[in-house]
Amino acid sequence: MIFEKYFVPDKMFDTYEELTPEFLLERGIRYVFSDIDNTLATYDDIYPPEKLLRWLEMMKKAGITVSFVSNNNEKRVKLFNSRLGYPAYHRAAKPMISKLREAMKAAGAEKDNSCLFGDQLLTDAAAGKRAGLYVIIVPPIKDKKSWFFRFKRWLEKPYLKKYHNKARGVSNGKK
């Protein structure tokens, strides 16, 4: 089924903080291509919150390179990244993968040592899967209450539940 091929994450966590360097290194992942909005911070966080800075620092100390690959605009991404100076890409147009590929090339990353980290199945997971990466999804920190986001959540809900259980090893009694 096409949905399963392109939108199903390999792993889900409840928050970005649950993603640890150990989890990544055990799987040979040294490059994280991360979404920003609702994955690492809310739309209201112009700059990375303190706890996110600590999480990023922990990744860095473990030798993991984080690059931001965001669908948001240049102003948002540049301001957010201004105190970090990480590799950052705006208007990535996920689920398109040209910017993601550009980010991977610039970082010297390969498919099998990289992951895509995000909160949306239709954009983040799809981009990661299309590019052949390991995909890690967290639920959005704070949804924008627009009809568009509500629609996307509604669309994703049954699949999220199913694969959340699967990823956590909860059996629903069916194959």
- In the complex, minimum distance from the CB of residue 78 to Mg ion, in angstroms, rounded to a whole number: 17
Q: Rule CB under 5 A: which of 2-41 touch Mg ion?
A: 35, 37-39
Report the residue number, 54 or 142, with the smaller CB distance to Mg ion.
Answer: 142
Binders of Mg ion among residues 36 to 75 (CB under 5 A) are 37-39
3-state secondary structure the chain: CHHHHHHCCCEECCCHHHCCHHHHHHCCCCEEEECCECCCECCCCCCCCHHHHHHHHHHHHCCCEEEEECCCCHHHHHHHHCCCCCCEECCCCCCCCHHHHHHHHHHCCCHHHEEEEECCHHHHHHHHHHCCCEEEECCCCCCCCCHHHHHHHHHHHHHHHHHHHHHCCCCCCCC
* Closest approach of Mg ion to the CB of residue 169, in Å: 26
Q: Is residue 156 involved in binding Mg ion (CB under 5 A)?
A: no
Q: Does 119 sit near Mg ion (CB under 5 A)?
A: yes
10's CB contacts (< 8 A; 6+ apart) are 134, 135, 136, 167
CB of 111 to Mg ion, least distance (A): 22
CB 138 → Mg ion: shortest distance, Å?
9
CA distance 170 to 135: 19
Closer CB to Mg ion, residue 35 or residue 156? 35
Between 39 and 81, name the residue whose CB sits nearer to Mg ion: 39
Instruction: Give least dist CB 170 to Mg ion, A.
Output: 25
Nearer to Mg ion, 113 or 120 (CB): 120
Nearer to Mg ion, 23 or 43 (CB): 43
Residues binding Mg ion: what is the number (CB under 5 A)?
A: 5
Q: Which residues bind Mg ion (CB under 5 A)?
A: 35, 37-39, 119
